[in-house]
Amino acid sequence: DEAIQKELKEIDSFDTYVPLHEQDLSDKEKKEALESLFLLTEKRDGRIKGRKVAVGSKQRIYDGYEKSDGSSPTVTTDGIFLTGVVDAHEGRDVACLDIGSAYLTAKNPDRVNMVLRGKLAEMMCRVNPKLYRPYTHTILRRRYIPMLYVRLSKALYGMLRAALLFYKKLRADLEDMDFVVNPYDPCVANKVIKGAQCTTIFW
């Protein structure tokens, strides 16, 4: 419960969901809305990590996305080895970092709707009742099940283009900081800072 609440609060803090009234959606839009899943993983230190994802398979069926439409570049093996050799030869300082909630930092320009059912809808309302409660409705399937339709304004994990949207944002941010992307590897970028070269590789 704690892991789920933490993940949902993070999603809410990034304004990922724009809630929708069920009556404002057409039957086609409801049918094409992505399903939502919550995945729980136990870390090696015993902590429970939660990850909220969209089931992007409907985007292939209804939107005609090909796999190549959403593929994001990643650093090549040669890129990793060659930058490692340069780092060692020049005695560079090396640091590794992880961008938390990376995909949620990228805006989603497409209109992609998703439906939260049952406990996920209830817990989203617990996180921000003022925003989501007015948009929640119930359907009868042996018992009453709460449902919440939302539009995804950010690149949520599971969307077919999520990785590509984040790549474009990260590359644009690096270029805004005067990094120059390597012409042979789109995930290697360089910038000269105080006379020394700074190289970043990302995947």
CA dist., res. 181 & res. 187, Å (int): 7
**pTM summary value:** 0.84
Q: Which residue has the higher pLDDT, 16 or 68?
A: 16
pLDDT tens digits, 139-149: 877 788 999 99
Complete DSSP assignment for 77-107: HHHHHHHHHHHHHHT--------TTTGGGSB
Q: Which residue has the higher pLDDT, 203 or 151?
A: 151
CA dist., res. 79 & res. 184, Å (int): 9
pLDDT tens digits, 102-139: 999 999 998 999 999 999 999 999 999 999 999 999 88
pLDDT tens digits, 47-95: 888 888 998 877 776 666 665 666 788 899 999 999 999 999 999 999 9
